């Protein structure tokens, strides 16, 4: 489709240019120069508007179709997720075996994560339409909400928290993704039984682990999109790139302190948030 658009625009440009040049040579001896310049300028403006319309309309149509398609997918995803959550909760009431209950808890947690991804997709679509959800909330309460969801998924990890109130006025869903990504990386690059420390104090959020850590070269590259310090780890190396983009977007100061074999600390300083 876009190839046809390119060909159409190219042909329109060539024909329009030839038409303007022909008109210029035909009228230069008949019409005075000021009037000729005005006529040529008018034709150039008309040609520019027409080319812009030819260029933008197919993109607008594709964007509209993609938006509708995304909304339909979100609607179709919501029903099975809610069905799984509802039936899992009902089945849990009839089960007394401890191991089975733990398995059901993991299924519930995984469905909870799917619900979060659903919310994030909805958020990303709205963000593309410039409808960010800016609100005032407590970072400490948000961390507690995220841990309630994440703890069952990282059942071998140990979380040590010290949370004091930190009020901010930013995009809540985006910060949820940031917290999830940092915790996920902390667990991913730690040995079994990861020890994760989360502290909110003053205007900062600090998440620390005792994992493999990074050297200076890795620290320099860690926020590059698709970079992974450990190629064997699951994922695509996108998470920390998103973290950096979000922090830049909302004027959050992001500090990383890491040493090879000792662990990593990531600190988000909200003092610059406006």
Percent composition of the chain: helix, strand, coil (DSSP 3-state, to 5)? 60, 15, 25
pLDDT at 169: 94
- pLDDT value at 136 more than 90: yes
CA distances from 248 to 171, 189, 190, 241, 254 (A): 13, 24, 27, 11, 9
- Nearest Cα to 114, choosing from 81, 163, 76? 81
The mean-pLDDT minimum among 81-95, 107-121, 204-218 falls in: 107-121
- pLDDT value at 157 more than 70: yes
Is 81:121 a contact under the CB 8 Å cutoff? no
- For residue 98, the SS3 value is helix
pLDDT at 229: 45
Which distant-in-sequence residues (6+ apart) come within 8 Å of 91 by Cβ?
104
The mean-pLDDT minimum among 102-111, 157-166, 257-266 falls in: 102-111
How would residue 123 be classed by pLDDT, with cut points 50, 70 and 90?
low
Is 166:203 a contact under the CB 8 Å cutoff? yes
How would residue 237 be classed by pLDDT, with cut points 50, 70 and 90?
very low
User: Tokens 């299924």 sit at which residue?
Assistant: 107
Separation of alpha carbons 79 and 84, rounded Å? 9
pLDDT at 244: 86
How would residue 239 be classed by pLDDT, with cut points 50, 70 and 90?
low
| Residues in the chain, total | 274
Task: State which of 5-14, 60-69, 97-106 shows the largest mean pLDDT.
Answer: 97-106
109 vs 122, more confident? 109
State what percent of residues in the chain have pLDDT above 90.
22
pLDDT digit string, tens, across residues 43-84: 778 877 777 777 777 777 776 777 677 667 766 676 777 778
110 vs 266, more confident? 266
- pLDDT value at 261 more than 90: no
What average pLDDT does the segment 168-183 reach? 90
Q: What does the DSSP 8-state code read for residue 211? A: S
């Amino acid at each position: 489709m876009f190839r046809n658009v390119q060909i159409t625009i190219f042909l329109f440009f060539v024909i329009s240019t030839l038409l303007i040049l022909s008109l210029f040579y035909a009228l230069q001896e008949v019409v005075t120069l000021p009037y000729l310049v005005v006529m040529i300028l008018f034709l150039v403006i008309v040609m520019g508007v027409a080319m812009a319309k030819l260029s933008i309309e197919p993109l607008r149509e594709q964007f509209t179709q993609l938006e509708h398609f995304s909304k339909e997918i979100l609607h179709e995803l919501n029903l099975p997720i809610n069905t799984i959550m509802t039936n899992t909760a009902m089945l849990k009431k009839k089960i007394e075996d401890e191991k089975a209950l733990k398995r059901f808890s993991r299924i519930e947690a995984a469905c909870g994560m799917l619900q979060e991804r659903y919310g994030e997709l909805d958020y990303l679509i709205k963000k593309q339409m410039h409808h960010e959800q800016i609100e005032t909330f407590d970072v400490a309460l948000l961390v507690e909400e995220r841990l309630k969801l994440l703890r069952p998924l990282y059942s071998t990890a140990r979380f040590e928290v010290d949370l004091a109130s930190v009020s901010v006025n930013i995009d809540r869903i985006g910060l949820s993704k940031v917290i999830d990504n940092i915790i996920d990386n902390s667990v991913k690059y730690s040995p079994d039984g990861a020890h994760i420390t989360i502290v909110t104090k003053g205007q900062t959020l600090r998440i620390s682990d005792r994992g493999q850590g990074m050297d200076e070269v890795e620290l320099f590259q860690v926020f590059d999109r698709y970079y992974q310090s450990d190629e064997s780890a699951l994922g695509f190396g996108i998470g920390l790139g998103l973290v950096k983009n979000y922090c830049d977007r909302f004027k959050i100061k992001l500090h990383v302190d890491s040493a090879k074999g000792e662990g990593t600390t990531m600190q988000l300083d909200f003092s610059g948030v406006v």
